[in-house]
Amino acid sequence: MSACIFCRIVAGAIPAEIVYQDEVAMAFEDINAQAPVHILVIPQRHLVSVQDCKVEDQMLLGHLLVTCSKVARLKNLTESGYRIVTNTGVDGGQTVAHLHFHVLGGRHMAWPPG
């Protein structure tokens, strides 16, 4: 079994509140929510971060962004707006070494972030 917590969620070894899933992606509630709506969108295949993506991952990345949009619709965020974030590396704030996008909404997002 993989040590990656997100891979273990995909495998069903760790429970998660899944809000969307297809053959490529999974979306679930973040247990450390930073907004009223905070969903993580991940590829079911393990990739560490955007930095590790190759040219052949273009379709996967597009699929993940479309999945973020689907999640935003499911969570009724499209009218008020939402933020999509991915963190890369330690200085970028990445705490789980599995590519993931945060879909944040339900409140006004300040700028600049961080």
For residue 1, pLDDT over 90 is answered with no
Average pLDDT of the chain, as a whole number: 95
Instruction: Tell me the pTM.
Output: 0.95
Please report which confidence band the pLDDT of residue 113 belongs to, taking 50, 70 and 90 as the band edges. confident
At 21-66, the pLDDT tens digits run 999 999 999 999 999 999 999 999 999 999 999 999 999 999 999 9
pLDDT attached to residue 112: 85
8: CB partners within 8 A, 6+ apart: 1, 2, 14
CA 101, 78, 63, 45: dihedral to nearest 10 degrees?
40
Fold classification of 5-105 (topology level): HIT family, subunit A (3.30.428)
Contact 87, 66 (CB under 8 A): no
Q: Which two tokens stand for residue 67?
A: 């999945």
Portion of the chain with pLDDT greater than 90, in percent: 95
Active-site residue list: 100
Query: 104, 34 in Cβ contact below 8 A?
Result: yes
